[in-house]
Structure 1
Amino acid sequence: MCAAAACIFAAAPGLASSAVTAAPAALAADRPLPAASFFQPPAVSAAALSPGGHFLAIREAGPKRQQVSVIDLRDNSRTVAARFADADVGEFRWVNDERLLFTAGNRYAERYSERYAPGLFAVNRDGSGYRQLAARTSRAVRSETATRLLPWHTFMLDDAGAQDSDWVYVADVRHAGAGYGYSARLLKLDTVTGDRQEIDSPPGVARYLLDAQGEPRLGVAGTQGDTGIYYRQPATGKWEVVASFKTFTGSEDSFDPLVFLPNGKLLARANRDNDKSGVYVFDPDARQLLDKRWLALPGRDFEGEFIVGKNGVRGLRYAGDDQGMWWDDAALSAMQKAIDSLLPDTRNLVELPARAATAWVLVQSFSDRQPAVYSVFNTGTGALVRVAESRPAMAPQQMGTQRMVRYKARDGLDIPALLTLPAGQAAQLPLVVLVHGGPAVRGTLWGWNAETQFLASRGYAVLEPEYRGSTGNGYAHYRAGWQQWGLKMQDDIADGASWAVGQGIADGKRICIAGGSYGGYAALMGLVNDPQLFKCGIAWAAVTDIQLLYDGHWRFNANLSKDFQQYGMPTLLGDPVTHAEQFKATSPLQQAARITQPLLLAYGDDDRRVLPVHGERLRKALRAAGNQQVEWIEYEDEEHGWSKPATRVDFWTRVEQFLGRHIGPRQAAPAKE
C-alpha cells in the first residue's frame, strides 16, 4: 500500500481528463458567487459502479443536457452512453455489467405526473443497443414500435434487482382518480427485446421490495387509512397479508420495510416500546417483528441504507446529526479508515460493487462546506482517484460552516436545529429562519446545501429548526405536533430565533422568516404571531388556510390524498368542524390584517398540491388590509416548488434583493457570471 501523500488523487490518464478544475483562486472572498453558481444543475449529479465494479457510470452536464458517460476503470477510457437532444437523462441504473436502464428526466415536473412522463430506455455501456421501452406521452401513436411500448406511467423500482441478466422488474403505476392514491402493476421486462411478463400482484400495492436474490417478495398497499404488508411465498408465488396497521398515525405493531437479508428475513424500521425508531428483524413466516432491537442510532430515529452481501449485512450509510458509514467487517472498516485518512475534511460515503470482481469502490465525499466530489478507491493499492466534482465553482473556504444545535422551546421541549454561519462571521448577524416543509418529515440533513450556502454567502446566518411534528427525533417529538399548526409548532420556530439572539449570534432587529409549502405557512404565521421578532417574510407554495386544504383540488400523486384528507388530517391537523375556531385563528388568510411586514410571496401556476388560489386570496386580503409591501411572483409552468434552473436563479436572486432591502448587510456585489 502506498503512502497517503502519493496515493491521494493518484494520476490516471482517463480519469484525470474527466476531473473538473478547482474553483478559480482569483475570486475574492468579498465577491460572492452569482446565484446561478448555486442554483444551476450540478456538473455531476450521480455516479454508480457496475455490478462487477469494472465500470463507473456518471450523470454529468453534456453540451446541452445531462447525459450518462461510462468510465472503464481497467484502462480509464470514457464513453458517452446515453444522451438526448431535447431532454436530460434522469434516473439511471445498471441492468448488468454491460447494460444500463435510464429515463428521460424532466426536471420541470413532479414524479408520476403526466408532464413528468420520463419514459424508460436501455442501452449498452458503449452506446450501442439502444431501445425505448416505455412511452413519454399518453397520446396514441400509430406505429408498430409505439404499440410495443409500455405506457408512460411505467417506472423503475427502488431496488436494483439481481443485475445478472437483461431482465428487470418495473412498475406500471395506475391511479383510481384524482386524489385517491395509486397502485402499481408489477412487470418483468427484457431490456434488449422489450418483451414483458405481468407478475401476479395483490390489489392496491404501491411499493414492491425485491429479496436478496432479486425476486419480488414484499408489497406495501395503502387504502382507507390502513397499510397492508403482503408477502410472496417463495415456493408458490402466492401473496399473503403478513401485517396491517394505521397508515398516518401508526400503532405499536407498525413498521417500515427496509431490505431483505439472504436468509429470507426482513430488516424493518419500527419503534415498538421505544421513543426513537430502530431496526428490527421481521420474520415473514412467523408474521412478526422479533423483540430484540437489531440496530439504533444514538439520539435519533433510524435513517440509513444497508449494504447487504451474500452472507448478510456488510455495512450501513446512516444519517444522524451528520452522515457517515458503519461497517460490520474488519477489512471494510480498515478500508474506510484508509479513505478517511486521505480525505480528513469530508464525510466519505462508500459504494461497493454488487459482486466484488475488482478492487475499486466508489467514494462520494462532502462536508458542510464542500459539495459532493466523486472518487474511486483501489482497495489493493490504496490509490484514490478523483473522478469529478459536482460544483467545481464552489470554493470551500468561502462557504459557511454548519452545525447541529439544540435549544429549549418555551414549554421545555428540546428542539434540534441546523445553524449555518457565514465564513469568518459568528456574531450579531442578520438571521434567516428557514422552515422546512412537510411538516411530518425530517429537516435538512447536515451537508452542503444550495439555499443555506447562498444565504450564508450573502452574510446571513441561517437557522433551520426541527420543530415538533418533524420526524427523525422520536415519536414523542412527532406526536407533540399533532393539531399544532400555528400554535406550539409556531412557538418552536419563534423560540429558535429568540435563542439565536440570546446567544449573540443574531441581531434581534434583523430577522426574517422564510419557507415553502408548510414552511411558507409557518413563515406567514410567524408574521402574524410574532411581528416584533420577524421583520419580513418569504413564502413560496405556501398554505394560507387549513380549511382550503380540505376544500381544494386533489390529484392522484399529491401527498394530501383523499385518504389523507379523510383518515390523516383530522388527527394530525384538526377536524374542520371541531377545530373551526382554531383553523380561523391559525389561518394567515383569515388573519391577513395582522400581517403588516414586507412579504415576498411566490407560487407556481401549475401547483396542484397547494393551489395558487392560496396565494391569490391572501394577496387580495393583504391589499384590502392596506399592506403595500407585498412582492408577488407567479412562475409559469412550475408545480410545487421550483424545478426549472431559470426559476431557481430568478427566485433566489429576488430573495437576495428582498433581504438586502429589509435586513441585509452591506457587502460587495456578486461576481459576474
Structure 2
Amino acid sequence: MLKHFRILLLIYAITVLCACKQKAAPIPVIDFFRTPEKVSYRISPDGKYISYLKPYKDKQNLFIQSLEDGKERMATSFTDYSIRGDYFWTYNNEIVFFQDIITVDEIRMFALDVSTLKTQVIISPKKVRIAMIGRDKHEPDVVTIRMNKRDSANFDIYKLNIKTKELNPYLVNPGNITQWFPDADGKIRLVRASDGVDETILYRPNDKAPFKPIIANNFKTSVKPIAFTGVGNYFLALSNVNRDKSALVEINAEDGKEHKVIFASNNADIQDYQYSKNKHKIELVTWDAAKPQKHFLDPEIKLIYDKLSTELKGNEINIADRDSAENKFIIITYTDRNPGSYYLYEKNIGKLTKLGDINPDLKPDELCTMQPISYKASDGMTINGYLTLPLGSATTNLPLVVMPHDGPFGHNGWGYNPEVQFLANRGYAVFLVNYRGSTGFGKAFYSAGFKEVGGKIQQDITDGVNWLIQNKTANPKKIAIFGGGFGGFSALYGVSFHPDMYNCAIVQHGLINFFTYIKDAPPFLKPLVQMTYERVGNPETDANQLRAISPVFNISKIRVPLLIFQGARDDRANISELNQFVRELQKQNGNDKVKYFLKPRERTFFRSQTNRMEMYAEIEKFLDENMRVKP
C-alpha cells in the first residue's frame, strides 16, 4: 500500500514538473489586439445615463445606457471612421464627439442629442486641429475649444455654441501661448507662454483684465497649474521650482510666489491628481515608484477608495468620471495581467455595479507578471525598468525582446501592455527601460538625457541588455529590439552600432532622420522646435552629432533583418524619405531581410483592426524566423 502511494506521488510530481515546464498555450493574436469591447465610459452630468464606445463593423461607435431601466441604445452607426475617445458630455445633456477623416485631413465635430439620438456636424475644418478646453455650467450650450483655424502655427481659443453653431473668438493667440488653464466655470485666467526654451505663466483676475506675467522659468523647470482653490487668488499646481521632484503646491496668482507645499514624494515626481469641482479641492495625487502610488488629501474620497479596494482586491483603481452631484462615479480597474474593467459606484447607497470588461476574452491567469527592476548604468546612474517573463519554470537563458519607449522624454509605467503580454505569451522575456531623460524621476534624471539621444540614452539600453545577459536571464544569441517613434530610432541605432547584440529589429513609425524630423515639424509644433534644439540637438550647431546617429546616414551598418510598419498619414513622418531608406536597405540586404508595410489610411497608430491583426501576425512570424539559435 505504501509502495503504491509512493508511485502515485512520484507520478503526480512528474506531472506537475512537466506542466510547469510547458509553455503557455498560444493566445490568438486577435485576443490581444482586437478593438476593445467597451471603453471610454462617461456619465451624464445629471447622473441618468452612461455612454461608452463599442465596435460596430470594426469602427468605434457611441452607445448610451439608461441607468433607470438599463436599456442600451446604439447612438451612432459610423462604418467609415471611428469616433475618437476624447468625446464629452455637455451640461445640457448632449454629447460632443470627433471623427478624424484621415483621407482628407479633416476633423469633424458633432453634437448628439441624447433624447432623440440625432447628430449634427457643428464644425468640420480641413487641415485644422481641434481640442476641448472647458465647459461652463452657466452656459450649458457653450463649450470652449482651441483651434488653429486662423493660423496653422498658433491655436486660438473659441466659444462654440453647439445649438446654433455660433463660433466666437475668446482669446487670440499673440504667437507664444502654448497652454490655457480654465477655472471651474470655464473662464481662462492662467496661460503659459513659451519660446521653446523660456516659459512664463501669466494671470488675469477676470476676462476684462489683461494677462500679466507672474512666474518665469526655462523648460527644465516646470509649473503646471491645476485649478484655483476657491479662496482668494490662490491656485494649485505641480511644480519642481527649487526642488528636484515635482510637488503639489499652492501658489498666489497675484505674485506667482509659492504659498505652501501640499504634498511631495522623495522618490518620484507627482504626475497626476484627482480634482473635485464641487469642493474646489485636490482629492488625491499619484506618482510612479515601481508601481502606481496614491496619497489621499480628502478623507471622504479615501473612504470610497478603501471600500472599492476591499471589493476589488488586487486591482489598481481609478475614478474615470463622475456626475455633477459627485454621487455616481465611473470606476476603471486594471492590473499588469488584466486590461481592465469598468464599474459604476453610487456613493449614497454604497453600491458597486460592473459595467463591462475592456477585453473579456483574456484570462489574467494565462498572462504574465510585470516585475519592476533596476540596474546600474556603466557610469553608475541607477536605471529603472520592467521585466516580464513568460509563464513556466524557466527564468534563465530566455529569448529577449527589448522595447525602448517613445519620446525620448517619455515614461514606461507598470500596468497592462498588450504588446508585452503578446510577446511573453509567445515565450519571450520582455524588457522595458526608463533610460535617463525619462520623465517622472525628477529634474536631474530628466536633464541627464539632454543631447544624449545617441549617447548615454542608448548606452543605458545597452547596459540593461548586458545586465540581463550577465544575470543569465537573457540568451545572448536570442535578442531582438522593438520600438515605435523614438523607440524605433533606438531599435535602428541598436542594430547599427551593436550588430552583434541583436538578431533583428522591429520598427513602428520610426524616427530615421533628425534633420527632417525637426525641419518638418507641423506648424503648430514650431514653438517646441527651440526646445528640441536644447534637448535633442540643433541641426546647425550639432549637425555632426545628428548626422552620426541618424539611421538614414548609417544604412551600411544595418545588416540584421528588419520589419518596418508605417502609416502614410502620420503627421511626423517623411514618407518619401522613409520609402527611399527602405529601398536602400532592401538593395543592400535583400527584400527577404527587410520587410516594409505602409498603410495608406493610417496615421501614427493603426486604428483598423484588420491592419493591427496583420501587423502582429507578421511580428510573430518575423520573430519566430529570426530568434532561432543558429548553430
TM-score (ref. length: structure 1): 0.82
- How many residue pairs end up in the alignment? 602
Corresponding residue SS for 2:360? coil
CA positional deviation for 1:434: 0.5
CA positional deviation for 1:623: 4.8
Corresponding residue SS for 1:294? strand
1:480 partner amino acid = A
Aligned residue among 58, 70, 75 for 1:81 = 75
**Structure 1 CA distance for aligned equivalents of residues 167 and 574 of structure 2:** 39
1:229 is the counterpart of 2:196: no
1:123 partner amino acid = L
RMSD of aligned alpha carbons: 2.8
**1:476-491 correspondence to structure 2 within 5 Å:** 476-491=444-459
Aligned residue among 121, 124, 134 for 2:110 = 121
In structure 2, the CA distance between the partners of 1:216 and 1:70, relative to structure 1 (3 Å rule), is same
What does residue 399 of structure 1 align with?
367
**Structure 2 CA distance for aligned equivalents of residues 377 and 637 of structure 1:** 39
What does residue 95 of structure 1 align with?
90
What does residue 601 of structure 2 align with?
637
Q: Is the 8 A contact 1:261 1:308 kept in 2?
A: no
What does residue 553 of structure 1 align with?
520
Instruction: List runs of 5+ in structure 2 lacking aligned partners.
Output: 1-21
CA positional deviation for 1:459: 1.3
1:189 partner amino acid = L
Q: Which stretch shifts more, 365-374 or 523-532?
A: 523-532
Q: Is the 8 A contact 1:553 1:608 kept in 2?
A: no
Aligned residue among 565, 576, 590 for 2:553 = 590
What does residue 174 of structure 1 align with?
149
Corresponding residue SS for 1:522? helix
Q: Of the two structures, which has the highest relative contact order with CA contacts closer than 8 Å and spacing of 6 or more?
A: 1
What does residue 376 of structure 1 align with?
344
Corresponding residue SS for 2:602? coil
Per-residue CA deviation, residues 623-649 of structure 1 (Å, 9 max, x unaligned), is 565567322332223333433332222
Aligned residue among 115, 137, 162 for 1:191 = 162
CA positional deviation for 1:92: 1.7
Per-residue CA deviation, residues 339-370 of structure 1 (Å, 9 max, x unaligned), is 11111121111246343264x32210111111
Per-residue CA deviation, residues 72-109 of structure 1 (Å, 9 max, x unaligned), is 32332333334435332223211126222222355x58
Per-residue CA deviation, residues 405-460 of structure 1 (Å, 9 max, x unaligned), is 111111111111122222335332211000111111223x2211121111112111
**Structure 2 CA distance for aligned equivalents of residues 365 and 198 of structure 1:** 40
**1:290-439 correspondence to structure 2 within 5 Å:** 290=259, 292-316=260-284, 318-320=286-288, 321-323=290-292, 325-351=294-320, 353-356=322-325, 358=327, 360-424=328-392, 426-439=395-408
**Structure 2 CA distance for aligned equivalents of residues 554 and 326 of structure 1:** 39
What does residue 25 of structure 1 align with?
none
**Structure 2 CA distance for aligned equivalents of residues 353 and 569 of structure 1:** 38
2:110 partner amino acid = F
**Structure 2 CA distance for aligned equivalents of residues 190 and 562 of structure 1:** 30
**Structure 1 CA distance for aligned equivalents of residues 138 and 266 of structure 2:** 35
Per-residue CA deviation, residues 359-402 of structure 1 (Å, 9 max, x unaligned), is x3221011111112011123344332111111111111111211
In structure 2, the CA distance between the partners of 1:317 and 1:35, relative to structure 1 (3 Å rule), is farther
Aligned residue among 203, 224, 237 for 2:174 = 203
In structure 2, the CA distance between the partners of 1:160 and 1:434, relative to structure 1 (3 Å rule), is farther
**Structure 1 CA distance for aligned equivalents of residues 521 and 537 of structure 2:** 19
Corresponding residue SS for 2:225? strand
Corresponding residue SS for 1:427? coil
- 4+ runs of 1 displaced by more than 4 Å? 623-628
Instruction: List runs of 5+ in structure 1 lacking aligned partners.
Output: 1-27, 139-151, 666-673
CA positional deviation for 1:29: 8.2
What does residue 211 of structure 2 align with?
239
What does residue 250 of structure 1 align with?
220
**Structure 2 CA distance for aligned equivalents of residues 276 and 103 of structure 1:** 36
What does residue 32 of structure 1 align with?
26
What does residue 279 of structure 1 align with?
248
**Structure 2 CA distance for aligned equivalents of residues 406 and 283 of structure 1:** 39
In structure 2, the CA distance between the partners of 1:355 and 1:640, relative to structure 1 (3 Å rule), is closer
1:132 partner amino acid = V
**1:480-629 correspondence to structure 2 within 5 Å:** 480-550=448-518, 552-557=519-524, 561-565=525-529, 567-623=530-586, 625-626=588-589, 629=593
1:208 partner amino acid = W
Q: Is the 8 A contact 2:45 2:323 kept in 1?
A: yes
Corresponding residue SS for 1:471? coil
Q: Is the 8 A contact 1:420 1:462 kept in 2?
A: yes
Per-residue CA deviation, residues 554-610 of structure 1 (Å, 9 max, x unaligned), is 4224xxx44444x23332223445444433432333333232222223333343413
2:111 partner amino acid = A
In structure 2, the CA distance between the partners of 1:325 and 1:411, relative to structure 1 (3 Å rule), is closer
Q: Identity across aligned pairs (percent)?
A: 25
More strand by share: 2
Q: Is the 8 A contact 2:337 2:368 kept in 1?
A: yes
CA positional deviation for 1:274: 1.7
2:163 partner amino acid = V
**Structure 2 CA distance for aligned equivalents of residues 554 and 517 of structure 1:** 14
**Structure 1 CA distance for aligned equivalents of residues 320 and 243 of structure 2:** 31
**Structure 2 CA distance for aligned equivalents of residues 627 and 582 of structure 1:** 29
In structure 2, the CA distance between the partners of 1:75 and 1:639, relative to structure 1 (3 Å rule), is closer
Q: Is the 8 A contact 1:280 1:295 kept in 2?
A: yes
Q: Is the 8 A contact 2:388 2:429 kept in 1?
A: yes
2:137 partner amino acid = A
Corresponding residue SS for 1:293? strand
2:596 partner amino acid = W
**Structure 2 CA distance for aligned equivalents of residues 440 and 325 of structure 1:** 23
**Structure 2 CA distance for aligned equivalents of residues 175 and 48 of structure 1:** 32
**Structure 2 CA distance for aligned equivalents of residues 618 and 194 of structure 1:** 46
Per-residue CA deviation, residues 50-72 of structure 1 (Å, 9 max, x unaligned), is 22333222222235532222223
Corresponding residue SS for 2:446? helix
